Structure 1
Amino acid sequence: MAGADREEVVHPGMKVAEVLARWPHLLEVLVEASPAFQKLKNPLLRRTMPALVTVAQAARIGGLEPEELVARLNRALGKEGAPPGGGGGAESLLGTPPPPWLAAPVGFHLDVRPILEAGGEPFSRILAAAREVKPGERLVLEVLFEPIPLYRVLAKQGFLAWCEKVGERHYRAHFYRQGMGGEEGLAKAPPLTEADWEEVQAEVTIEENLEPPLPMMRVLEALASLKPGEKLLVHHVRRPVHLLARLEEEGHAYALKDLGPGRVKLLIRKGG
C-alpha cells in the first residue's frame, strides 16, 4: 500500500513527462512556478524535453529548489508537502541579520530579472560577473527569487552570501568575495592539449533542432556515465555557453574547436 500511496504524489525522481501525462493540469503549475517552463507550452518540446528531465532537474533549470517545486506540484494535487528522499540543499538566508561586509564596495551589479522573465538562463552571465569582482568587493544580483543554488556555487569561489526581499518577485542577493584563498583551495583541472583529442571514450552529437535544455541534458547524461579522467567528444551546432558554465562549476576540463558555421567540437575530460 505504501508503494501505491507514493505513486499518488509527485517525487523528485519522476520524469516531467510522467507527471504531465498523469496530471496534465500541472503544466500550468510549472509555468507559474518559473518563466523557464513557459516553453513546455510548445507541444513539440513537451514531447521531448520532459522525457529526459526529472522533476528535480527541471527545478534547477527553473532556478528553484527541488523540494520547493515538488511541494508546489503536490499542493496542486491536494497533497501537502514533499515525499521523503527529496535531498537537502543550502538554506535560505532571508531574514538573517545583515552581515558586516554589506558595507563593502560593489564590484559588479547585475539585474537578471529581464532574462528570467523572458524564460532565459542567466547562469553564465552571473558567473562572468563574479569573475569581475575583486577580493573585498561585492557582487549584487537583482533576481525574481532567492537564488539558493547560487550560494553553493559561488561559495566554491570564495564568496559569502546574503539575500533580502525588496518587493514582490524582487530579491537582492549580495555575494562578498573574501579573498583568493577560497579559489586557491579548489583543485584546478589541468588544461587539455592537442593530444587529448586523439582518443575519447564517448561521443555525443547535438542536432540543430534540439531545443534547450535537451542539448545540455544529453551531454551531462553522457558525462555521468564516464569515469573521472575519461573524455567525451561533443559534436555541437553552436558554442554551448550555459553548458560551459556548468562544466566549470563541476570541475571538468574542456576545450573547443570552432569548425565554422553550425559546427563546433567540444572535448570534455571528466573531473573528480
Structure 2
Amino acid sequence: MDISENTRISDLLKENKVSIDAIASLAKPLEKLKNPILRKLMASRVTIAEAAKMGGCSLQDFERVLTPLGFKFIKNVEKEDFVEEESPNWLKNLPADHIEVFDVREILLGGQDPLKQIMQRFKSVPTGNALCIVNSFIPVPLVRLLEKDGVKSFTKTIRINEFHTYFYKVPTVKETVAPAPGTNDNIHMLDQASFQEEYNKFSEANIREIDVRALEMPGPMQTILQILPTLSTNEALYVNHKRVPLYLLEEIAGENYYVNILTLSEIDVKLLIYKR
C-alpha cells in the first residue's frame, strides 16, 4: 500500500492490523493507540504526520517500522520532517503581548497531568488572546476538544520534541462563540465547595456511584460510556477516577451532558455527570 504523511492511521490499520504495534513502539504517547476505545477516537482523525508530532518522532521513524509491513512511502520523507505550515492570519496578526506561553514539559516530566492548569490558564485568557502550550508532543485530544467548542488552534514545530500549540479565543462579533471546556455550560472544573453544591442537587437515591481507579485503560472510559445512556433526567453519575479523562470529555463533547470535575490530587479526581 502506498502511503504518505497525510495517510490516516485508520487506513494503515485497515491494511495491516500489526501496524498499530509498530507505531506504538515508536514513542510512549503513541502507546495510547493500543487501547481499543482510544484507537477508535484517534485513528480516523490522526494522520501519520500528526502522529509523528504527537510522539515527538520523525517521519523516517514511521517509514522504518512500516516498510517491513508492506507499506511504501510515495514521497521522500527525509526532507519533510520540518516543512513549516504557514501560520493562520489570526496568529500572524496577534501581538506578542496577546499570547500567554505555558511550558508544561517539566510538569509532565514530574509525572503530573497539566490539564487542570491548562484549563485554568485558558479560562483567564481574554477574548482575542491566545494561550501557547509548549510541549514535547502535540496534545491532539486537547486540540480536538477545544476546537469542538469554537476555539481556533495551530501548532508550530520548533524542533524534534518541541511543539508550540496556540489556542485562540475568537472575539465575539454578533453571535456568541462557545467558550472552552472549564468555562462553558457543559464542562466545569470546580473547587470542592462548588462541586458539593452540584452534588447536593441530587438525592442520594438518584446518584449512581462508581469507582474506576483500579481499572486498566480503557476500562474506565468503557464503564462510564456504558452507564451514561442509562441515566434518567433526574439521575447523576458520580465517578471516582485517578485522572481527568480527557478522551472521555472529547467523546461526549457536544452530547447532552453536564460534566463537573473536582481534582483533589494528581491521582484522585471526582466527576459528576448528568443529562441536560
TM band (smaller chain): 0.5 to 0.7
TM-score between the two structures when normalised by the length of structure 2: 0.56
Contact 2:128/2:171 (<8 A) preserved: yes
Out of 218, 243, 249, which is 1:246 matched to? 249
1:220 and 2:225 aligned: yes
How many residues align? The count is: 225
| Residues 1:129 and 2:121 are matched in the alignment | yes
- Higher mean alpha-carbon deviation, 120-129 vs 250-259, is at 250-259
- Find the aligned partners of 1:104 and 1:158 in 2 and give their Cα distance: 22
The alignment's C-alpha RMSD in Å is 5.0
Give the deviation of 1:184 after TM superposition.
6.8
* 1:102 partner SS: coil
Amino acid at match of 2:167: F
User: Could you tell me how far apart the structure 1 residues matched to 2:139 and 2:241 are?
Assistant: 30
Aligned-pair distance for 1:109? 1.5
TM-score, normalization by structure 1 = 0.57
Q: Distance in 2 between matches of 1:95 and 1:264?
A: 38
Aligned to 2:85: 95
Describe the shift of the 1:106–1:11 C-alpha distance in structure 2 as closer, same or farther (beyond 3 A): farther
- Decide which of 182, 187, 192 is 2:177's aligned counterpart: 182
Alpha-carbon distance, 1:173 to partner: 1.8
State the Cα distance separating 1:146 from its structure 2 match.
4.0
* Ranges in structure 2 where 5+ consecutive residues have no aligned partner: 1-10, 52-58, 74-82, 188-196
Match of 2:215 among 179, 185, 210: 210
CA contact (8 A) 2:231 2:274 kept: no
- Structure 2 residue aligned with 1:269, among 267, 270, 274? 274
Separation in 2, partners of 1:101, 1:10: 40
Deviation per residue, 1:232-263 (Å, 9 max, x gap): 4235265x43359828955632457999xx99
**Which residue of 2 is the match for residue 53 of structure 1?**
37
Deviation of 1:170 (Å):
1.6
Say which of 26, 41, 56 aligns to 1:32.
Answer: 26
Q: What residue in structure 1 maps to residue 202 of structure 2? A: 196
Contact 1:123 1:242 in 2 (8 A): no
3-state SS in 2 of match to 1:172 = strand
